[in-house]
C-alpha cells in the first residue's frame, strides 16, 4: 500500500475513531438519564399505581395548554383526540388548542365534533381567518401561544398517538424539577416492512443522540412531535424571530435559543409513559421529502454544537462507501476499510442498544448493518438537497432563503 493509501486508511480510521468515542459518550449520558428516572415513573411504567399528578399548586386555569398544528389531518386527528380523552389524572388541568393550517379537508369539522366529548376546553383556530392569513407550523404555534392560558405548553402533531400517561409524565417531571424550562420527549416510528423499520431505527438514533446531548449539557436536537416548554419563555426569547424564513425547525431553533438564554434548563423525559408514536413514511419518495425538509434547517443553526455533530456523523457515514471505492481502486487495503466500518458499526450498536430497549424495539438492532450500507449515500443526498433549500411538503412548495 502506498503512502497515500496509508494516509487514506488512517483518515478513515480516525474519523470513525472520533465517532466511536462520541457515541460512547452519548451512551453513557443516555444510561445516566435512564437511571435517574423518578420512582413514580418507574412504578407507572411497570404497571403500578400512579394516582393523580399535577405540575404545581392548584390554579384557577389549566396547567398545560396542548397545542396541535393540523393541515389536512381529518383522517388522523380522531386517533389523537381519543388518546387525549384518555389522559390520566390531569384532565382538569388541560386545555387543547388545535390550529387549522388552511386545510382543504374536514379537519375543522372533526375538531368541532370532538370538542363536546372531551373533558377539557377545546379551541379551534383557523390561520385563514387571522390577519395576513399566515401559513406553516411556526405561524400555527405562535397563534396558539397568544391564546394559551396555561404556564406550560405541550406540543405534539396531529398524526401522532400519545399514551394515557403522556401528560402525567410531563407533570411529574415539572413537579420534581423546578429548574426545567424546556422538555424534550421520546418519539417512536411505527409501521410494517423494511422501510418502516429502517426509518424507525434512524429516528431511534436521533432520539438517543438528542437525549444524550441534553444530558451532557449541549443540546443539539429534539422532535416537535413531543416537547414542552414554559409559555413565558417562548416570548422571552422572541419565539421564532431570526428563523421565520425557515419553514421547519419550530423545535430545534427554539431549543437552541432557550439553552442560550437559560443554560442548564433543558431536560429529556426518559419515561416510557411519554413515548409518542407516529407512522413512518410509506414510500421512499415521501421519506426523502420529509428528510430534505429536516435537512433544510441545518445551515441556519446559530450554535456550533449541532453543526459539528452533523459534520462528524456525515463524514463517518461516508467512510464505508468511500472506503469501498478506494479498496476497489486498490488504494487502501480491505483490512483498513473493514476496520473503519467495524468501528462505526460498534459505535452505533453501543448507543442504539439501550435506546431500542427503552423504546421496546430491541430486535431492530439486527437491522443496523443494513442501515449502515445505505445511510452514507442517503445522508449525503438529503444533506445536499436540504442545502438547496427547496422542497415540497403537504401540498406546499417551499423555498428557504
Helix/strand/coil (H, E, C) string of 167-229?
HHHHHHHHHHCCCCCEEECCEEEECCCHHHHHHHHHHHHHHHHHHHHHHCCCCCCCCCCCEEE
d(CA 182, CA 229): 4
d(CA 26, CA 20): 10
**More reliable by pLDDT, 214 or 51:** 214
Answer yes or no: is pLDDT of 245 > 80: no
Band (pLDDT 50/70/90 cuts) for residue 258 is: very high
Do residues 100 and 111 touch, judged by C-beta distance below 8 A? yes
* Mean pLDDT within 298-306: 73
- The C-alpha cell at 280 is 413512518
Residue 49's pLDDT is 43
**250, burial (CB in 10 Å: exposed 0-12, middle 13-18, buried 19+):** buried
Mean pLDDT rounded to a whole number for the chain:
88
**306, burial (CB in 10 Å: exposed 0-12, middle 13-18, buried 19+):** buried
Strands 182-184 and 390-393, by their bridges, are unpaired
Provide the 3-class DSSP secondary structure of residue 285: helix
Q: What Rg value do the Cα atoms of the chain yield, rounded?
A: 22
Do residues 318 and 376 touch, judged by C-beta distance below 8 A? yes
Q: Give the CATH number of domain 39-300; options: 3.90.550.10, 3.40.50.1470, 3.20.20.100, 3.40.710.10.
A: 3.90.550.10
d(CA 337, CA 326): 9
Residue 48's pLDDT is 47
Most confident range (mean pLDDT) of 244-248, 309-313, 364-368 is: 364-368
Residue with cell string 390577519: 131
- The C-alpha cell at 282 is 410509506
**More reliable by pLDDT, 391 or 380:** 380
Residue 52's pLDDT is 45
Residues constituting the chain: 401
**More reliable by pLDDT, 205 or 36:** 205
CA atoms within 13 A on the CB side of 202: 21
**More reliable by pLDDT, 79 or 287:** 79
Answer yes or no: is pLDDT of 290 > 90: no
What pairs with residue 396 in β-bridges? 393
Residue 37's pLDDT is 64
Task: Give the helix ranges, DSSP H, for 36-165.
Answer: 39-45, 77-85, 107-115, 137-147
Do residues 63 and 248 touch, judged by C-beta distance below 8 A? no
CA-wise closest residue to 173 among 92, 87, 269: 269
Provide the 3-class DSSP secondary structure of residue 393: strand
Strands 94-100 and 64-70, by their bridges, are parallel
- The C-alpha cell at 113 is 365534533
d(CA 153, CA 182): 10
d(CA 392, CA 386): 11
Segment among 29-38, 77-86, 150-159 with least mean pLDDT? 29-38
Band (pLDDT 50/70/90 cuts) for residue 397 is: low
Do residues 283 and 47 touch, judged by C-beta distance below 8 A? no
Answer yes or no: is pLDDT of 349 > 50: yes
Band (pLDDT 50/70/90 cuts) for residue 159 is: very high
d(CA 383, CA 259): 25
* Beta-carbon contacts of residue 22 (< 8 Å; ≥ 6 apart): 309, 312, 347
Amino acid at each position: 500500500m502506498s503512502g497515500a493509501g496509508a494516509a487514506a486508511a488512517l483518515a478513515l480510521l480516525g474519523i470513525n475513531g472520533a465517532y466511536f468515542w462520541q457515541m460512547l459518550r452519548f451512551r453513557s449520558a443516555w444510561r445516566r438519564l435512564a437511571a435517574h428516572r423518578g420512582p413514580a415513573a418507574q412504578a407507572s411504567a411497570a404497571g403500578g399505581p400512579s394516582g393523580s399528578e399535577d405540575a404545581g399548586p392548584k390554579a384557577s386555569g389549566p396547567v398545560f395548554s396542548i397545542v396541535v398544528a393540523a393541515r389536512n389531518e381529518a383522517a388522523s386527528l380522531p386517533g389523537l383526540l381519543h388518546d387525549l380523552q384518555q389522559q390520566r389524572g390531569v384532565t382538569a388541568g388541560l386545555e387543547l388548542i388545535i390550529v387549522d393550517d388552511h386545510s382543504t379537508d374536514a379537519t375543522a369539522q372533526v375538531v368541532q365534533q370532538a370538542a363536546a366529548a372531551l373533558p377539557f376546553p377545546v379551541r379551534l383556530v383557523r390561520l385563514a381567518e387571522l390577519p395576513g392569513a399566515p401559513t406553516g407550523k411556526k405561524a400555527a404555534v405562535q397563534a396558539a401561544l397568544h391564546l394559551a392560558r396555561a404556564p406550560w405548553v405541550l406540543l405534539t402533531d396531529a398524526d401522532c398517538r400519545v399514551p394515557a400517561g403522556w401528560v402525567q409524565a410531563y407533570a411529574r417531571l415539572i413537579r420534581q424539577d423546578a429548574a426545567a424550562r424546556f422538555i424534550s420527549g421520546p418519539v417512536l416510528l411505527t409501521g410494517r416492512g423494511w422501510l418502516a423499520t429502517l426509518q424507525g431505527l434512524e429516528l431511534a438514533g436521533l432520539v438517543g443522540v438528542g437525549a444524550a446531548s441534553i444530558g451532557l449539557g449541549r443540546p443539539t436536537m429534539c422532535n416537535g412531535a413531543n416537547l414542552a416548554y414554559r409559555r413565558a419563555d417562548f416570548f422571552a426569547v422572541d419565539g421564532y424571530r431570526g428563523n421565520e424564513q425557515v419553514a421547519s425547525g419550530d423545535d430545534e431553533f427554539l431549543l437552541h435559543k432557550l439553552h442560550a438564554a437559560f443554560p442548564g434548563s433543558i431536560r429529556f423525559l426518559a419515561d416510557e409513559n411519554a413515548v409518542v408514536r407516529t407512522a413512518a413514511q410509506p414510500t421512499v419518495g415521501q421519506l426523502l421529502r420529509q428528510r430534505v425538509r429536516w435537512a433544510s434547517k441545518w445551515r441556519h443553526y446559530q450554535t456550533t454544537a449541532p453543526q459539528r455533530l452533523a459534520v462528524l456523523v456525515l463524514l463517518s457515514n461516508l467512510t464505508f462507501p468511500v472506503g469501498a471505492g478506494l479498496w476497489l481502486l486498490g488504494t487502501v487495503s480491505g483490512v483498513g476499510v473493514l476496520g473503519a466500518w467495524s468501528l462505526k458499526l460498534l459505535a452505533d450498536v453501543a448507543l442504539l442498544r439501550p435506546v431500542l430497549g427503552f423504546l421496546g424495539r430491541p430486535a431492530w438492532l439486527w437491522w443496523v448493518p443494513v442501515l449502515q450500507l445505505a445511510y452514507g449515500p442517503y445522508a449525503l443526498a438529503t444533506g445536499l438537497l436540504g442545502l438547496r433549500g427547496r422542497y415540497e411538503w403537504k401540498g406546499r412548495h417551499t423555498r428557504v432563503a
